[in-house]
Amino acid sequence: MKVLILPIDNRPVTCVFPRLLAELAGLEALLPPRRMLGGLTDPANPGALASFVEASVRADQPDALLLCLDSLIYGGLVSSRRSEDPLKTLLDRTACLDRWRRQLGPARAIFGQSSIMRISDNYDATEEKPYWARFGREIFAWSGLLDRLARGEKLAPGTLAAAEMRIPPDIRQDYLQTRWRNHQVNRHLLEHAAKGNLDFLAFSLDDSGASGLNRLERDRLAGKAADLGLEDKVFAYPGADEVLMALLARLLARVAGVRPAASVLFSPQQAADCQSLYEGQTVGQTVASQLLACGITGDGVPDFIVIVHGKPGIQGDHVLLPGHKDTRNLDTSRSVASTLALLESANKPVVLCDVAYANGADPALVAALVDRRELVEKLWGYAGWNTTGNAVGSALAMGVSRWFALKQGAAASGQAVKRCLFVRFCDDWAYQAMVRKSLTRQVDAATLAALMSPHVATIAGALGFRPDKVAFRQPWQRTFEIEVDI
């Protein structure tokens, strides 16, 4: 089976790891050359990407298209927030969906992802327009007030005016115009879904608070989807970088003709009520939305067990943002003991979602886990990177890929899942939780390899997986992410 994958950009978590999951499932993955995809400062050429997909549809006749539409429309996720292209140009770029549906026919799947523009509560303009460095948190607060006002909440007199006074009028105007333009694009994509050009459409909320214009837009898109009778074909939820993997999992369930079943255990149970950072909802709500996105059901005999490792009351964060509480060193010993006990008693394969911290694994959990190879061998999936949604969605997709491979009788899937686990533990634990905290800037590959080496040896021993060669680099020339190249 052939699946064409159009990633959201060229980062390893968004274009390399989805390919690994497709290979784990036994699929032939077709992707554009990585140089064609968008980067941090260099957007992709949407026309070139459309031409690549067009040529592949004609020559390869893929069984499914998994499309991150931000790449096709704006040139990537980051450029969706920075692009100055007019609305008509963006809408015209979606016309190819009509052609691809006609060429592939109704039996082949076309799944799409489009982001609802994020609102970050920080002063980091790395992935935003330059004015975010000065007014980011003020825009975040103002956006929340606008959302509350639109929902009928009465604000104290002068509250909105005071918030607006903190942001120059031209910046407020530019921000609202950019949001309005992107929202019109998303509304137009709903019309494509209504025509049958998209079999499933995921709207992803990348970085979200409890209130804000992105949540208001989400609700309005959901309302229009309901008006069009698309409730089963459209889903809006917090996430971004992992959504392509969730779409892959949903595709595998469609191909199998049956949804994978899972039982979910929170470790400890109170962790389900913990507020999830960067998402504006609880960990439990995020887990529920990711299960739905991946096409996993809770009915029937479970194919695997999902263990969500968390911390009651508070989610830690390996990244300390200015103006935010320092939660880089939490005592998770009780949670670790609970998680290990659940692993010990598990009589099914396990997908382990490590969300005690945002932006990396729980060091205490992994330190205990790598000494218990018999527990590691139970894992069909693991992730502990970035947001709760990122970690849960990618871990679930790994579990579904392994489930699908076994249903198809893929004998090599055991080594393939070890390869995926190796990459995740190297990234989420070795780098994000252990090495990254010692870095203040980008380092060369040799230095990175030396810092990673002892942790890599530990992971290889725990998995019984020793690749001939492993290289590491920081692909976007910053410390935020790493590439694990086997």
Containing structural domain, residue 288: 259-485
Does residue 268 lie in a domain region?
yes
**Same domain assignment for residues 357 and 419:** yes
Q: Can you read off the two tokens belonging to residue 396?
A: 């679930």
Name the burial class of residue 446, with classes exposed (0-12), middle (13-18) and buried (19+) by CB atoms within 10 angstroms of its CB: exposed
Report which of 317, 307, 231, 215 is spatially closest to residue 275, judged by C-alpha positions: 317
- Amino acid identity, position 256: A
Does residue 164 lie in a domain region?
no
Does residue 192 lie in a domain region?
yes
CA–CA distances in Å: residue 440 to residues 137, 252, 435, 455, 479: 23, 41, 11, 20, 8
- The answer to whether 187 touches 87, Cβ cutoff 8 Å, is no
Q: What is the CATH number of the domain that holds 110?
A: 3.40.50
- Residue 164 Rama label (left phi>0; alpha psi -120 to 50; beta): alpha
- The answer to whether 427 touches 482, Cβ cutoff 8 Å, is yes
Q: Which of 198, 222, 251 lies at the terminal end of a domain, its last residue?
A: 251
Q: How far apart are CA 212 and CA 119, in angstroms?
A: 8
Count, residues in the chain: 486
CA–CA distances in Å: residue 397 to residues 1, 20, 89, 292, 385: 18, 11, 34, 12, 14
Does residue 17 lie in a domain region?
yes
Does residue 27 lie in a domain region?
yes
Q: Which of 215, 230, 251 lies at the terminal end of a domain, its last residue?
A: 251
Q: Model confidence over 157-180: pLDDT tens digits?
A: 999 999 999 999 999 999 999 999
For residue 209, what pLDDT is reported? 82
For residue 410, what pLDDT is reported? 76
**Same domain assignment for residues 306 and 406:** yes
**Same domain assignment for residues 400 and 447:** yes
- The answer to whether 313 touches 270, Cβ cutoff 8 Å, is yes
Q: Can you read off the two tokens belonging to residue 208?
A: 């979200």
Total domains in the chain come to: 2
End-to-end CA separation in angstroms for the chain: 24
Question: Does residue 199 sit in helix, strand or coil?
Answer: coil
> Which DSSP letter does residue 118 get?
P
**Same domain assignment for residues 55 and 195:** yes
User: Regarding beta strands 281-282 and 275-276, do their DSSP bridges make them parallel or antiparallel, or are they unpaired?
Assistant: antiparallel
**Same domain assignment for residues 293 and 215:** no
Q: How far apart are CA 399 and CA 417, in angstroms?
A: 9
Residues of the chain with confidence (pLDDT) below 70: 411-412
Q: How far apart are CA 433 and CA 37, in angstroms?
A: 28
Most distant CA atoms of the chain, gap in Å: 67
Other CB atoms within a 10 A radius of the CB of residue 88 amount to 8
**Same domain assignment for residues 281 and 372:** yes
Does residue 142 lie in a domain region?
no
For residue 207, what pLDDT is reported? 84
For residue 323, what pLDDT is reported? 78
**Same domain assignment for residues 189 and 100:** yes
Q: Model confidence over 1-45: pLDDT tens digits?
A: 999 999 999 999 999 999 999 999 999 999 999 999 999 999 999
**Same domain assignment for residues 214 and 295:** no
